[in-house]
Structure 1
Amino acid sequence: MSAVQLLLVPLALWVLQASLCHGACVEVDSDTDAVVNEGFKLGCISCKMRAEVPAEATVEWSFMPKGESEFTKIYSYEDLMSDTPDERFYERLYWNGSKKTKDLQDGSIYILNVTWNDTGTYRCIFTRTLTFTSFKFHNDTTKIVHLNVVPRLTRGIASILSEVMMYVTIVGLQVWLVVEMIYCYRKISAQGEEALRESTAEYLAIASESKENCAMVAVTE
């Protein structure tokens, strides 16, 4: 098994466990740096913990510009329909969440043509209703995204260190595999030489015994 495969196995097991526990839903935080004049995905995921229970959910997004103190409703998604009441985002916000279902778990939206004025705090509210046999349960979940608009993306120190550590881990695993291969080769080689010596000694013993038998037959004659 290669070093990359060794790294991927734990990740695959983690994804499988998350899928089994949360119905293939994993809550991941949204990115926070958007490039001006480009598109950007505002992530908002709220996993339903009771996958076997029927449910419906609605999503509402609000925006508070940098320097202000109040949120303004900018987008809503309910019954497979969306609405953008804020003129600043008209025809710039599009649904990027769960498709063809009212049982929403991904409430992400996509912003087209990001501007400097889009800098600020975004609030995503999931309103979920779970339908049990004898009652309905309502639950609200709030996610906050602090968006920063930048001229271009730059890699942070954490990202660089993470990549360096990944390569160090890969190289370390490769070195370990080489050492293991050398150790196994030497062990197998030593066992082969020992077996060869034993076979040679056994052959010589048989040859010597045969020679003695032949000599005894000659003397008897």
Structure 2
Amino acid sequence: MPATRALLPLVLLMALQVMVCGGACVEVDSDTEAVANQGFKLGCISCKKRGEVKATASVSWFFQAWDDNVSSELYTYAEREGKVMDPRFYGRLHWNGSKNTEDLQDGSIYILNVTFNDTGTYQCKFRRMLIYSNSIYETNPNKTVIMKVVPRVTRGMASIMSEVMMYVSIIGLQLWLLVEMIYCYRKISAAGEEALRESAAEYLAVESESKEVEVAE
């Protein structure tokens, strides 16, 4: 079918992209709305641009409360060990990033029992050392997350629109499949009718020849 053949290259391309990107690092922005008395992940991903280059990295987090003018060091993670630096987060902060490696690309942390006092600006700073055969090159990517604490889960317009688009896509796909089924049925039906007409024409032709032969005899 023409429509199916036209979509086949697109499907193959998407599958190839998934296979290629399946194990790749993807930089995803952190959520920014936390719910009071629940846990919250502060995401911070910094992908290494050249995967074949050996590297080591450390991560430092800084926090500036909404009613404060300065930021303070919140957390550090280096050589597979983390340390909470801000007393306000003692016993409530855990490493949620890359594990069992010094080549860190995910520097996320997790806050337990979020309070309204945790509202503010969080900054995640990487210190990455790229180790080449004859040199070492340092990079310092950083991410900023402005976190808001709310009393209960709220749904933003982006979330609502995403859900609406998901349902629209599902309905659209189902309609497309229905159209394809009708198109295929009509093609098969038309082909069957054509075959029947050809068979009938051949039968009539044979009958006509037989009668002509009988008359001639």
TM-score, scaled to structure 1 = 0.87
1:42 aligns with 2:47: no
One-letter identity of the residue aligned with 1:124: C
| Distance apart, 1:187 and its partner CA | 2.3
| Distance apart, 1:185 and its partner CA | 1.4
Q: How does 1:45-84 map to 2 (within 5 A)?
A: 45-84=45-84
Structure 2 CA distance for partners of 1:51 and 1:114, relative to 1, 3 Å: same
Q: Secondary structure at the match of 2:158?
A: helix
Query: What RMSD in Å do the two structures reach over aligned CA positions?
Result: 2.0
| Distance apart, 1:188 and its partner CA | 2.0
One-letter identity of the residue aligned with 2:76: S
Distance 1:216 1:141 in 2: 99
| Distance apart, 1:178 and its partner CA | 1.2
| Distance apart, 1:212 and its partner CA | 2.5
Q: For structure 1, list consecutive stretches of 5 or more residues without a partner in the other structure.
A: 2-7
| Distance apart, 1:87 and its partner CA | 1.0
- Greater gyration radius: 1
Q: Percent identity?
A: 61
1:213 aligns with 2:213: yes
Pick which of 187-196 and 124-133 moved more. Answer: 187-196
Aligned to 1:146: 146
Aligned to 1:113: 113
Q: Which runs of 4+ in 1 moved over 6 A?
A: 8-11
Pick which of 134-143 and 199-208 moved more. Answer: 199-208
| Distance apart, 1:142 and its partner CA | 1.0
Q: Secondary structure at the match of 1:67?
A: coil
Pick which of 193-202 and 52-61 moved more. Answer: 193-202
1:146-173 Cα distance to aligned partner (Å, 9 max, x none): 0111111111122112211221122122
1:32 aligns with 2:51: no
Pick which of 166-175 and 78-87 moved more. Answer: 166-175
Aligned to 2:202: 202
Distance 1:69 1:13 in 2: 49
Structure 2 CA distance for partners of 1:166 and 1:13, relative to 1, 3 Å: farther
Distance 1:14 1:120 in 2: 38
One-letter identity of the residue aligned with 2:110: Y
Distance 2:190 2:74 in 1: 74
